[in-house]
């Protein structure tokens, strides 16, 4: 039997919905643990997890008396947690969980991180001045050129730029950055079991610049680099107002977006289900995957939802989907490593 994949779940800000959705998700995926396919480790506040489980009336063990996960408390943090409130204490808990999980993966005691939602405001109040998980993980690993992928089912979108002003986007789209994103995107597709991925590259300007009338970046910067990757399955640039329709139609396996909102809006539009009668969320799904780091991290694609924290109504679909993506990617990486090892052994023989 293959070695179980060890997922380190960080609860995010314990004042938000993180503890609730992780508690629900670990129960929902308990079959993977029983089957020996996965091991779950939860990092954060043990007290917050216990409080969430009591709220949800969840058992602490399964029918065979086995725990659903192993808890790693990263405290103490002296200030109390007030559910639904932004505070430095919540930011500190969130930071410590991510820091510890990163060290576990680096040290070989976990295989991937699945992060719960944190509050950037709380993180800053705690003195940790990062724009979000991606930047924090880049700092902790010393790798500065991470790539963000959003995924919802077969909708997979990587981003050339993310958290920067729109005015700064064109100067950040360089041949070097494009090659980095293209390489990482292709690697991710291979890890997901897609041997010959079809990847479309979105244009930066409306209609890809209309031959230079609406901007020259598509013709002068983006198109030449795509041509370098044509034999590896990349096409484009394709106008941003049509490329995601083609992705949804499964004409492509992934799209490379040029900036944050270009890639985020189509994925979130599909992943957030709203009750048309009440205007409330019925379900939230979607995964944020950080690629190009020496560690693998997947995450929920939503925030802390302080407004509904502590009510037991938060939906755990995004956590489950994030964990499933992590399992698929790690399994793919293991398979590739095994195949490479066998090829090497055969060559030596």
Question: How many angstroms separate the first and last alpha carbons of the chain?
Answer: 27
Q: Is the pLDDT of residue 149 over 90?
A: yes
Please tell me if the domain spanning 1-146+293-349 has the same topology as the one spanning 153-285. Answer: yes
What residue ranges in the chain does DSSP mark as E strands? 5-10, 38-44, 70-73, 112-115, 147-152, 155-159, 199-202, 234-238, 254-257, 272-274, 281-284, 287-291, 297-300
The number of beta carbons lying within 10 Å of the beta carbon of residue 224 is 11
- Rounded to whole angstroms, the Cα distance separating 218 from 178 reads 12
Give the architecture (CATH level 2) of 153-285: 3-Layer(aba) Sandwich (3.40)
Q: How far is CA 10 from CA 4, 188, 278, 345, in A?
A: 19, 22, 32, 38
- As given in the structure block, the two tokens for residue 244 are 């995601």
Residue with tokens 């410590």: 96
Residue with tokens 């992943």: 271
Is 28:316 a contact under the CB 8 Å cutoff?
yes
**Among residues of the chain, what percentage have pLDDT more than 90?**
74
Which pLDDT does position 303 carry in this prediction? Answer: 87
Is 338:3 a contact under the CB 8 Å cutoff?
no
DSSP string, 229-298: TGGGTEEEEE-HHHHHHHHHTTS-SEEEESSHHHHHHHHHHHHEEE-TTT--EEEE--EEEEESSSS-EE
- As given in the structure block, the two tokens for residue 85 are 């409130």
Residue ranges covered by each domain of the chain: 1-146+293-349, 153-285
Least confident of 12-26, 147-161, 207-221, 329-343: 329-343
Q: Is the pLDDT of residue 342 over 90?
A: no
Residue with tokens 């041509």: 227
Fold of 1-146+293-349: Isopropylmalate Dehydrogenase (3.40.718)
3-state helix, strand, coil in the chain (%, to 5): 45, 20, 35
Which pLDDT does position 186 carry in this prediction? Answer: 96
Mean pLDDT across the stretch 179-183? Answer: 97
DSSP assignment, residue 167?
G
Which pLDDT does position 284 carry in this prediction? Answer: 63
Q: What is the pLDDT of residues 263-317, one digit of tens each?
A: 999 998 887 766 777 776 655 667 899 999 999 999 987 889 999 999 999 989 8
Mean pLDDT across the stretch 186-215? Answer: 94
Contacts of 24 (CB under 8 A, 6+ apart): 56, 58, 314, 316, 319
Could you tell me which residues are beta bridge partners of residue 212? 215
The number of beta carbons lying within 10 Å of the beta carbon of residue 334 is 15
- Rounded to whole angstroms, the Cα distance separating 314 from 291 reads 27
DSSP string, 333-347: HHHHHHHHHHHHHHH
- Rounded to whole angstroms, the Cα distance separating 84 from 134 reads 24
Burial of 180 (0-12, 13-18, 19+ CB in 10 A): middle
Average pLDDT over the chain reads 92
Is 35:139 a contact under the CB 8 Å cutoff?
no
- pLDDT class of 349 with cuts at 50, 70, 90: low
Secondary structure tally for the chain: helices H, strands E: 13, 13
Which pLDDT does position 39 carry in this prediction? Answer: 96
């Amino acid at each position: 039997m293959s070695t179980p994949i060890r997922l380190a779940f960080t609860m995010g800000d314990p004042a938000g919905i993180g503890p609730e959705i992780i508690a629900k998700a670990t129960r929902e995926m308990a079959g993977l643990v029983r089957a020996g396919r996965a091991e779950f480790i939860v990092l954060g506040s043990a007290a917050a997890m216990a409080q969430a489980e009591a709220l949800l009336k969840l058992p602490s063990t399964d029918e065979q008396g086995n725990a659903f996960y192993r808890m790693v408390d990263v405290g103490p943090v002296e200030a109390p947690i007030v559910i639904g409130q932004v505070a430095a204490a919540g930011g500190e808990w969130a930071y410590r969980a991510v820091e510890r999980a990163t060290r576990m993966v680096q040290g070989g005691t976990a295989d991937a991180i699945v992060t719960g939602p944190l509050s950037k405001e709380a993180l800053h109040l705690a003195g940790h001045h990062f724009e979000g998980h991606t930047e924090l993980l880049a700092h902790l690993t010393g790798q500065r050129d991470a790539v963000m992928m959003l995924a919802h089912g077969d909708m997979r979108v990587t981003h050339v730029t993310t958290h920067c002003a729109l005015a700064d986007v064109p100067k950040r789209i360089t041949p070097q950055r494009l090659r980095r994103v293209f390489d990482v995107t292709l690697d991710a597709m291979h890890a997901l079991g897609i041997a010959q991925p079809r990847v479309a590259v979105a244009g930066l300007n409306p209609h890809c610049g209309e031959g230079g009338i609406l901007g020259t970046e598509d013709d002068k910067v983006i198109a030449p680099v795509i041509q370098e990757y044509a034999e590896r399955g990349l096409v484009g640039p394709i106008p941003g107002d049509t490329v995601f329709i083609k992705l949804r139609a499964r004409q492509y396996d992934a799209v490379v977006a040029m900036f944050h909102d270009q890639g985020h809006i189509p994925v979130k539009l599909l992943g957030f289900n709203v009750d048309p009668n009440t205007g409330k969320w019925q379900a939230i799904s979607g995964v944020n995957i950080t690629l190009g780091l020496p560690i693998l991290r997947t995450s929920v694609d939503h925030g802390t939802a302080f407004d509904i924290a502590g009510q037991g109504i938060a939906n755990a679909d995004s956590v489950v989907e994030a964990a499933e993506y992590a399992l698929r990617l790690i399994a793919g990486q293991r398979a590739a490593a095994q195949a490479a090892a066998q090829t090497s052994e055969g060559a030596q023989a």
